[in-house]
């Protein structure tokens, strides 16, 4: 079984995000970048399935700037076999990524596509669903467990009411939730080995995909700072403030 895993380069989750002075977006210059945590979980799952003898090849794909090669190398250091970078300097949005992934799927013919359920930078939670729709494939989102068995996969989904168990036909698209696994620590020897693994760089035009943005960001602002709390003498004073200051009652 061949597995295709999408990975995204994002601002390191441990870095405090700052808005640009002109309000056009968040500051990324001289900022530490990392693989999206949910994508890291997706890669880890594919590697564990390969170690279990279920998967024969893992291909990781990223769409974005040349620096995304570092992200792909990290995924290959975790255990992926090779990488594909669709290089573009355009701010790629979920639908464009889904169209690129559709073209890569047609080229690679995987039996399973694993994506992170969302990226921590835009929180869109759309790409995996869009890929499944474009391909006409079954999908299972927010999964905490996946077990391929022949031409089907048994999955467990995280839902509001608890857990949902499904059996979906392969090929399919699944998106990884936090409780799927805990990614491994990448060792230095594996980082060195990853540098020798094949990494293909192609342009969106070669895939006949238009990645031009369809949405325009008008302005990005920081959330309002939270005011300091105050101690109240009694319930009457609380009701008064809720009514006259907060105006919520």
* CATH number of the domain within which 89 lies: 3.40.50.620
In a domain, 69, yes or no: yes
Give the pLDDT of residue 29: 85
- Rounded Cα distance between 103 and 132, Å, is 13
In a domain, 8, yes or no: yes
- Rounded Cα distance between 207 and 102, Å, is 10
Give the pLDDT of residue 141: 96
Stretches in the chain below the pLDDT threshold 70 = none
In a domain, 6, yes or no: yes
- Rounded Cα distance between 5 and 101, Å, is 10
6 strand-pairing partners: 61
Give the pLDDT of residue 25: 86
Q: How far apart are the first and last CA of the chain?
A: 59
> Which range of residues forms the domain containing residue 53?
2-244
Residue % of the chain over a pLDDT of 90: 80
In a domain, 54, yes or no: yes
175, 179, 181, 185 alpha-carbon torsion, rounded to 10°: 110
DSSP 141: E
Phi, psi angles (nearest 5°) of residue 46: -60, -40
For the stretch 205-221, pLDDT in tens is: 999 999 999 999 899 99
In a domain, 198, yes or no: yes
Count structural domains, the chain.
1
Block residue for tokens 């031009």: 212
For the stretch 17-28, pLDDT in tens is: 889 889 888 888
Given a contact cutoff of 8 angstroms between Cβ atoms, the answer to whether 156 and 162 are in contact is no
In a domain, 249, yes or no: no
What is the CB neighbour count within 10 angstroms for residue 107?
Answer: 13
Measured at the alpha carbon of residue 129, what is the angle toward residues 100 and 85, in degrees to the nearest 5?
25
- What is the pTM for the complete model shown? 0.88
Q: Count Cα atoms within 13 angstroms, Cβ side, for 247.
A: 1
Give the pLDDT of residue 42: 97
Give the pLDDT of residue 120: 93
- Rounded Cα distance between 149 and 144, Å, is 17
């Amino acid at each position: 079984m061949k597995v295709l895993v999408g990975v995204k380069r994002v601002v390191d989750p441990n870095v405090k995000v700052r808005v640009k002075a002109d309000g056009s977006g968040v500051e990324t210059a001289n900022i530490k970048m990392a693989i999206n945590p949910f994508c890291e979980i997706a890669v880890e799952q594919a590697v564990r399935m390969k170690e279990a003898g279920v998967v024969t090849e893992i291909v990781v794909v990223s769409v974005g700037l040349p620096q995304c090669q570092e992200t792909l190398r990290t995924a290959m250091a975790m255990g992926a076999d090779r990488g594909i970078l669709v290089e573009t300097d355009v701010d790629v949005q979920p639908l464009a990524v889904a169209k690129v992934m559709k073209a890569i799927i047609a080229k690679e013919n995987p039996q399973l596509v694993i994506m992170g359920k969302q990226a921590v930078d835009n929180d869109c939670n759309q790409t995996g669903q869009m890929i499944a729709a474009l391909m006409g494939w079954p999908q299972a989102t927010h999964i905490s467990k996946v077990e391929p068995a022949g031409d089907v996969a048994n999955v467990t989904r995280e839902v509001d009411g608890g857990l949902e168990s499904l059996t979906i036909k392969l090929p399919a698209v699944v998106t990884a939730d936090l409780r799927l696994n805990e990614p491994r620590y990448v060792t230095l020897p594996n980082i060195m080995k990853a540098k020798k693994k094949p990494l293909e760089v192609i342009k969106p035009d070669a895939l006949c995909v238009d990645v031009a943005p369809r949405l325009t960001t008008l302005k990005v602002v920081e959330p309002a700072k939270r005011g300091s709390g105050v101690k109240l003498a009694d319930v009457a004073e609380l009701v008064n403030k809720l009514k006259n200051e907060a105006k919520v009652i």
